[in-house]
Amino acid sequence: MKTHQFQSERSDALRKQLVEMPSQLQPRKPHPSRRVLLAIGAASVGAIVLSGVPKSADPATNRGSNQQLRPAETAVPHDAYASIPSDEIQHVGTGADFFGAARDDFLWDMKDPYYGYDRAPIVARVHIDSIDGGRVFSPIYEQYVSPQTIGKMTVREVYKGDLAAGGHVNYSRGGGIITFEEFWNSRTQQQKDKGLATNGGQRPIGPKYVQMKLMDDIDIEAGKEYVVLLSPRSSKDGTFHEYFIDGMQFGLREVKGSGADTIVLNNVTKTWESLGSLVRLP
């Protein structure tokens, strides 16, 4: 059995509420010989990376602007992570027990090329206009979640689902960088107690920033175009909307070319493939 295992953090308080993948995307149980095992955090099935940049400690400031957004007017796309010195980032990889990390399993059937396409509500080609940073407080659930990268994107083409080409919308995705302060504040009390116990009763002095992502997942890049698996999200009061990029590296495939010459990057084999290998074309 060919199996890849990915591990991530879970906040116990969110274990039941914050599964990012909707019920229609909950994967079926493929035969053991046809699956890849991905361990992820329950706060979000695709959102398993700590993400963020310096910003106000008030969670409400992490909401971002609303769905209807103006396209970027500069030639260089905004990337909030680009200004963070690499030597100030603590990389917390798969399997690290950072103050009480927990694990969960998610199955992806790699033998079925349309596994993600058939389960995602929306499949589209998008341009990543910006990476606006990260968050650990979700305006969708109004609670702390496994941190996510957020930004804005332009919809180029829609292959499936209810989304208009040409729209400028908010996106979120598992993965990224947050400040240690945000990381500490998002811990459960049990996790904080563990951190205190390992540091002689004192609050740990962590790095300035923390990054955590699944093994083999990829980083989203501003200015690139991708074919993405999307799930629409709205806040409880209906004032904020975004699209969650599902499926980790399987749901974020770099794309180039047009028409019959369109090709997408396979993030596992690192080879370019036809669009029809991922999308059910008419």
Backbone angles phi, psi at 129, to 5 degrees: -75, -35
Query: What's the pTM value of the predicted model, to 2 decimals?
Result: 0.73
Structure confidence by residue, pLDDT tens digits, 200-235: 888 888 789 998 787 788 999 999 999 999 999 999
3-state secondary structure of 254: strand
3-state secondary structure of 191: helix
130 pLDDT higher than 50 = yes
Task: State the chain's mean pLDDT as an integer.
Answer: 76
75 pLDDT higher than 90 = no
What are the boundaries of each domain within the chain?
49-88+113-275
Alpha helix segments (H runs only) across the chain: 115-119, 180-185, 189-197
Give CA–CA dist 130/67, Å, rounded.
14
Measured in whole angstroms, the distance separating CA 21 from the mean position of its chain's CA atoms is 11
3-state secondary structure of 24: helix
Mean per-residue pLDDT, 266-281: 97
Relative to beta strand 241-245, strand 225-234 is antiparallel
